[in-house]
A and B are shown apart, each in its own frame.
Chain A
């Protein structure tokens, strides 16, 4: 962590100041080189208001700087975890309902025009304007407006005080060039050339996008925070995840963010490759539908009963199933906040794995095998339900087969419904499922849990609390945690909220995977932030003596 802070501080000075430093990684000989990043998904757009995928975000973040950036500790409560980028400094109003960001006067768009406060306002407007239908709009509902105080100062106005005010502003609103985009028709933003070939202000500038194949970006050598060490980054994509990994194994690409299973073993055996384990934000669980799938007003005939959910949870040998799927590369979650999140708490009491107790509990609930077919029944209805799982996720498919067998041992019959991802989401939205193997990827904000697990998230149109977990106690604790006066107080409240969650057992928490990246040994990688492995690309470098053909291309543009 300290090295990263040092590097960042160093970037804040000019390149010349840093190159005098002789600590190795910053020697001038390390400037140059090309990294080919293999990606299993093609970006959709390259401007913040339109992007919907992490592939898009990973490129967009190289082209555009935020006002301030979340630091490696992922501390998103308040502003202490953020480092200045386009903004040189910021000041809170006395009532804490607005923040004024003062821009760094050295910041320039790649066409040479200085970055102004109007650009910040445009970055906000294009998300907030309903004509754009920005997928990010829901993230900034707490923001009232962004105004221009003077050409170098933009002010963010909030509806109310909360611990994530700063996060909402800095993480979601990315300034966009007013002089290029100010006059366009907002409803047509998706078909604007700029949306796919932008002029940014970040450490890299956009070069070309060959659809279905690649995006190329090169270093902005005159960048006010110092040039990135690499000359060029190429993102090479395919829609087949296996092919994406194979490209790295075969040396055709230099980096892939996630590699698993047999291919990971291959990578570890390959002399020219390195692997790197890092924490992610994903957590996976078996979601019970607490409502009747057909009649949403009625509680679910099976899962409506907490004691039954306990019995099911105690039937699963979580350490064994997680070891089978992930070996040592995943941990068992403690609550609805994964370990890498700033608001995580690993001191929550869990239900034990105890099939004897589970069977006893099922017996006492009246679920007994009366007809000797190995499946428990009650009043003629067998204890039988389906687990929906997306075809696209191999780990979750594997998990489903393991759960099926473990449930069978206590007399519960499972059907595995392998669904195309879109179909699955459709069923979840319609609350039309019995149980589902789900995986969430929360954003690092303190209110991520509120957006997922509260009564509001269950009842609002399009809410993502698919299982309809509605606990007034949990809601109250989460709400008071977010609006807490101090970070300590917030942590204590989060702790109690997680305890309530586990007591209610609306889901069986299963695993939080660690991620493993594979890269060519040529490339020296920095630390990865759990929500954004790409956050440190500007610090990656390739030592001069390890370069190959594509590293020696220099900064010249391609012939055509």
Chain B
């Protein structure tokens, strides 16, 4: 469930090393954010070194009659699933796909959203109005419905396509944020001055306005990753996400959802992994927002 946070009030600030360095310093001072960041770094390392860390192959089915649904034990700390596969190994390998898909999708969404918002904001007038009505329309239909439609109707879907679909349905809010920021900034003195000095529009946008509009995008991206991880899981749970036998946290949960009361471990562990990750991203996002927004320095 995501509710877009309102854009911070636009402020005039010229991009230079100062504010970014100050933000970094503020972030470092925030213990919660640093712990979250630590957790996330660990997760990324686990994903990178999955072949070393996982005790078994993630897709190996050693005995589909005898070794299915084994309780957690020394040999299988997270138990085995309905196909006799080791759940721990699958959760570790699953982090690759869950984190990877979410990160790439968010990168795509943020790039498209920033570009779209910047163009609309800078162009203004009729172009802006049309572009923003399209955004209104896309935001007016629940994202899960658009995703269901796109995926259910398109037939089987490959991993890159999944990233693209998740990315292309996730940029509407960002583009609005960027557009508001760009509009406010381009009315500022430095932009007018640059244009007066003969700089071309595109150059002004690229060199002066965009860097200043980026901080809300960074916050939105961090908060958005958690969101996409959950969405990917929901889609895999509905059977239209990551293709088997590849493990993603969502389709491990799907494998376990029908066996919750007799083999709770199949769905519980990937669920916990997902919960921890999403919480970490949300806390880090909060920290980033505070760090990038000097008003909110914690002193009333």
Decide if A and B touch, CB cutoff 8 A: yes
Please give the residue numbers on chain A whose beta carbons come within 8 Å of chain B beta carbons, in ascending order.
261-263, 265-266, 320-321, 323-324, 386, 388, 391, 394, 397-398, 400-402, 404-405, 415-420, 423-424, 427
A379 and B249 CA atoms in complex are apart in Å by: 38
A402 and B65 CA atoms in complex are apart in Å by: 11
Q: Are A402 and B155 touching (Cβ within 8 A)?
A: no
Does B262 touch A at the CB level, under 8 Å? yes
Q: Are B262 and A262 touching (Cβ within 8 A)?
A: yes
Q: Are A391 and B240 touching (Cβ within 8 A)?
A: yes
Does B188 touch A at the CB level, under 8 Å? no
A3 and B245 CA atoms in complex are apart in Å by: 49
Report if A261-B258 is in contact (Cβ < 8 Å); known contacts: A324-B64, A416-B243, A418-B243: yes
B203 → chain A closest CB, angstroms: 47
Report if A397-B239 is in contact (Cβ < 8 Å); known contacts: A261-B259, A262-B258, A405-B61: yes
A321 and B60 CA atoms in complex are apart in Å by: 15
Q: Are B259 and A262 touching (Cβ within 8 A)?
A: yes
Chain A residues with Cβ below 8 Å from B243 are 415-418
Does B82 touch A at the CB level, under 8 Å? yes
Instruction: Select B156's contact among A263, A320, A401, A419, beta carbons within 8 Å.
Output: A419
**Can you give 15 contacting A-B residue pairs, CB < 8 Å?**
A262-B260, A262-B262, A320-B65, A321-B64, A323-B65, A324-B82, A324-B83, A398-B82, A401-B83, A404-B244, A415-B243, A416-B243, A418-B240, A423-B154, A427-B155
Q: Are A324 and B68 touching (Cβ within 8 A)?
A: yes
How many A-B residue pairs lie within 8 Å, measured between CB atoms? Answer: 72
Chain B residues with Cβ below 8 Å from A261 are 258-259
Does B73 touch A at the CB level, under 8 Å? no
A426 and B83 CA atoms in complex are apart in Å by: 30
Chain B residues with Cβ below 8 Å from A265 are 261-262
Q: Are B245 and A404 touching (Cβ within 8 A)?
A: yes
Q: Are A397 and B244 touching (Cβ within 8 A)?
A: yes
Chain A residues with Cβ below 8 Å from B152 are 391, 420, 423
A404 and B246 CA atoms in complex are apart in Å by: 12
A398 and B245 CA atoms in complex are apart in Å by: 10
Report if A420-B259 is in contact (Cβ < 8 Å); known contacts: A397-B244, A404-B245: no
- The count of residues in chain B whose C-beta lies closer than 8 Å to any C-beta of chain A is 24
Chain A residues with Cβ below 8 Å from B60 are 405
Instruction: Identify 11 new A-B residue pairs, CB closer than 8 A, beyond the known A323-B65, A391-B239, A404-B245.
Output: A320-B65, A398-B83, A405-B59, A405-B64, A405-B83, A416-B244, A416-B245, A417-B156, A418-B244, A419-B156, A423-B153
Ranked 4 nearest A-B pairs via Cβ: A417-B156, A391-B239, A423-B155, A324-B64
For chain B residues 248-273, which have a beta carbon within 8 Å of chain A? Answer: 258-262
A420 and B154 CA atoms in complex are apart in Å by: 8
Q: Are A418 and B156 touching (Cβ within 8 A)?
A: yes
A423 and B157 CA atoms in complex are apart in Å by: 12
A43 and B68 CA atoms in complex are apart in Å by: 38
Q: Are B261 and A266 touching (Cβ within 8 A)?
A: yes
A416 and B158 CA atoms in complex are apart in Å by: 10
A324 → chain B closest CB, angstroms: 4
Chain B residues with Cβ below 8 Å from A391 are 152, 238-240
* Among A263, A388, A394, A405: residue with most chain B CB under 10 A: A405
A420 and B156 CA atoms in complex are apart in Å by: 8
Chain B residues with Cβ below 8 Å from A262 are 258-262
For chain B residues 127-175, which have a beta carbon within 8 Å of chain A? Answer: 152-156
Q: Are B156 and A402 touching (Cβ within 8 A)?
A: no
A426 → chain B closest CB, angstroms: 8
A266 and B261 CA atoms in complex are apart in Å by: 9
Chain A residues with Cβ below 8 Å from B238 are 391
